[in-house]
A = this chain, B = another copy of it.
């Protein structure tokens, strides 16, 4: 479909490692879709195998146990979020703009990546009762907080944000607000109008951070 295959090997066969890697990836993707659709406990390893186009037994074969597969899902979603956030945020820009970019990443995902957000919030709640997930979420929270705090500090450094705010508290507060908004939107998208929420939230930040 893309690159021309090497001469004399019109359709190169995949190596074993490639086959395995692909299978693991496809199963993980399927598991993510299933978690979004059914939740952590209502899908089965067999579902994941079949949804990925493989046999019912393969997920257990590769991931060992359902708990391990769920851990992999949690880590996958954490990575998605962290990567997306870092991609949107550009540390060369000013602090406030980066803060808003981060918020927009989260809110825009409601339109573009509802599945991922659904899984993210499912895993966030799952962390309350499943220690392996709690580990991934702890790391996610750490990474998110660092990103937000560093944006605030950049804003302070360049004079956009007043010095005497509680950076740590504001970091938690911002993350809480966005997550809370998305959580409500996920449950009832029709009654949660995102643009005014985004506008209000950003207005709050500007007003309260003003030096």
Contacts and interface: CB of A to CB of B under 8 A. Distances in A.
A18 interface: no
A118 interface: yes
B173 A177 contact: yes
B183 A176 contact: yes
Interface residues of A, number: 50
B137 A187 contact: yes
Given A121-B128, A129-B38, A181-B173, A208 B197 contact: no
26 contacts: A37-B129, A39-B126, A39-B130, A41-B42, A42-B129, A122-B125, A122-B128, A124-B125, A127-B187, A138-B187, A141-B184, A166-B196, A166-B199, A166-B200, A168-B193, A168-B196, A169-B196, A169-B200, A172-B181, A172-B184, A173-B177, A176-B183, A180-B180, A180-B183, A204-B204, A208-B208
